[in-house]
Structure 1
Amino acid sequence: MGKCLSCFHVRSTEPLPSISDSSFVDTHVNKQEAGLSSELASHQDSSFVADNTNHFDKTVSPMSNGTSKTPYTSTSKSNSSSIASMQRPLRSSVHSRSRQSNDIGNGPTLSTVSETKINTLFEKYRDKDCTDEDCILADGIEQMCNDLNLSPDDVRILVLAWKLEAQQMCKFTKQEFVNGLKAMNVDSIKDIQSKLPELVNKCRDNAEEFKSLYRFTFRFGLDSSCGQRILPSDMAIILWKLVFSIRVVCDESFVLTAWLNFLAQHTHVVRGIPRDTWNMFLTFYDTIGDDLSKYDDTEAWPSLLDDFVEYQTDKSNQNTSDTTNRNKAANGTMNQTG
């Protein structure tokens, strides 16, 4: 990945969400337990019930890992033993079904993601010549993209870098790679392939997720090795096309197309994009309308956005004037002919 970023299209389908019925399960089990407690009270004297109720309540409380504590068993009362034996399969079987339901279709669970497998995956792509630190560089990232069946300039690779919290383009440190895949709850190429479309869909449908990715993209495009703080215009154009491809087809968005054309035609003047301009363009895009009709020059927009609107308005007026003149000329010709 790098300045080869050029064209981007995402085609993915949104995965079906998993449905957890744990709240129903717990309610159902509590009702069963209440019935058992009532049965116990009807068959035993009140002193026995008072002595054993606390034990009964404690034994059926699930532990943090989803298992149950060993039921309390009294040797002095035969009914206590039989009821305790009924409690354990009821609670454990219901919670087992609940856990199985939650795990279906979600890939590895947090408890099954293997850090060993992640480390092995990292070693596969690690740059063997890098002596400063363990990291994956351009060649390793390209190999990883090949294994994922993705182009390095695919927006899903940008999403992956975002989830790894990568600090620099064309470089994944071991800490970023390991912690990022653990946070994504994946430990194999197959898992990553399945996860990325889900993350892309989430960014498309959730404004806050997209905003987080969008702001990451600016920092990701900077050359941190030289302390760069302003994104070069050519790189900004590439990254704007890339990140917005999640939400729109760039050529079909008037504002985005006009904005990028404006920058491309004025690179001799607009040499770079500051962070504030990058961040504010997203707000600008979402609020001013596709025909710039909602633009308000009293708003505190960055000056470059004001210049863009002025340029686009002048261009539109010029086009209107040219059209009017052509129509007049055509009408004059027709009158002379007549």
Structure 2
Amino acid sequence: MPRPSKRKAAPSADVDLSVSPASKKSRTKQINKVDHLFDRYSNKSMDLIDPAGIESLCTDLGVLHTDIKILMLAWKMKSEKQGYFSKDEWRRGLKCLGVDTLPKLKKSVLGLDQEVMKSGYFEEFYIYAFQYCLTEDMQRSVDIETICELLNIVLGPQFPTQVNLLIEYLKIQNDYRAINQDQWSSFYRFFKEVSFSELESYDSTLAWPVILDTFVEWLKERVNKS
């Protein structure tokens, strides 16, 4: 007579089989290392990394606080307040980068600009750069001076001549004191699609904001005078 087959007991409903104890221990250790690094730069009274802490972090990373890589680091963290990193944002950013020590973070940050450009996420980062400058509730636009600095940092490396000309125009024009997100988005598309050597092909009837129409007129006058 055949013996009845032995069935394995069903796992208890309250036992979590998705993560092994060893994995949990490793994850906890990694979080502790990330938090320890956060504490190194944070303002203890605020439990935030404030501008002074970011300045110290930049020194240790070997980059200036105005470097695009720091803005990209803020983007990786999805930082909501300019000049500050919360602990949750810090954890999110370092997890995204896959790092938990300063040497690893430094190596990752130094390659961020190349990574973002190659990964196809640059446009997403570009929009974030504008939103990061909205420092007040209900703010919808960014002043011209800040926009000029942001253009130089974010688009200057890709389009140096075009950015210099747009910045020159923005500083002398009197129609706009601030730039909204739609206008900001159009600048990047404009640089990609419009050749400055063939401005006659620019079609103002297309969906370009008025500020770019007047910019092109200014460029044409500049060319004619020269």
TM-score bracket, normalised by the shorter chain, equals 0.7 to 0.9
Pairing 1:1-338 to 2, within 5 Å after superposition: 114-130=30-46, 134-206=47-119, 208-224=120-136, 226-248=137-159, 250=160, 253=161, 255-266=162-173, 268-293=174-199, 294-319=201-226
Structure 2 gaps of 5+ residues are 1-17, 20-25
Letter in 1 for 2:96: A
Amino acid at match of 1:205: K
| 8 Å CA contact 1:221, 1:239 repeated in 2 | no
Structure with greater Cα Rg: 1
Instruction: Rate the CA distance shift 1:299–1:238 in 2: closer, same or farther, 3 A.
Output: same
1:114–1:187 contact (8 Å) kept in structure 2 = yes
Instruction: Give the aligned CA root-mean-square deviation in angstroms.
Output: 2.1
Question: Normalising to structure 2: TM-score of the pair?
Answer: 0.82
- 8 Å CA contact 1:141–1:170 kept in 2: the answer is yes
Match of 1:97 in 2: none
Contact 2:156–2:163 (Cα < 8 Å) also in 1:
no
- Aligned to 1:273, what secondary structure does the other structure show? strand
Cα distance in structure 2, aligned partners of 1:113 and 1:260: 48
Distance 1:296 1:314 in 2: 17
Specify the code of the residue in structure 1 equivalent to 2:153. L
Matches of 1:129 and 1:265 in 2, distance apart?
Answer: 44
Q: Counterpart amino acid of 2:154?
A: V
Query: What is the rounded CA distance, in whole Å, between the counterparts of 1:235 and 1:245 in structure 2?
Result: 14
Q: Matches of 2:62 and 2:29 in 1, distance apart?
A: 23
Distance in 1 separating the partners of 2:57 and 2:192: 35
CA deviation after TM superposition for structure 1 residue 233, in Å = 0.6
Regions of 4+ moved over 4 Å: 110-113
Aligned residues: 202
Q: Which has the higher contact order (CA 8 A, sep 6+)?
A: 1
